Amino acid sequence: MNNFNSFKDIITSKQDVKPPAYKWQQFALDIIRELDIPNMKKSSVFKICKDMPQQRVQQALTDTKELCDKGEKWKYFFKVINENK
């Protein structure tokens, strides 16, 4: 743990988190958060968002939310996105 002597030390030591460089990266992060994508599949979501048109990915996300009531939504998302290829 860091030992801070004053409030100024706390403020100056704060590290800023950089925003995603591309729009598709933020879109992928949103999908990962919404569908609770496991760590082993996160890179696949980034690849999908980078390589496929955003409209197609958005449609797959919408279909997943509407059609998958229970279970692991992330598996359904990958199934839907692969059917659309």
Residue 58 predicted with pLDDT over 80: yes
Residue 74 predicted with pLDDT over 80: yes
State the average pLDDT over residues 71-85: 88
Q: Which pTM does this prediction carry?
A: 0.75
pLDDT given for residue 2 in this prediction: 53
Q: How far apart are CA 65 and CA 34, in angstroms?
A: 9
State the average pLDDT over residues 24-49: 95
Q: How far apart are CA 74 and CA 34, in angstroms?
A: 9
Q: How far apart are CA 63 and CA 40, in angstroms?
A: 23
Give just the sign of the alpha carbon dihedral 27, 51, 40, 65: positive
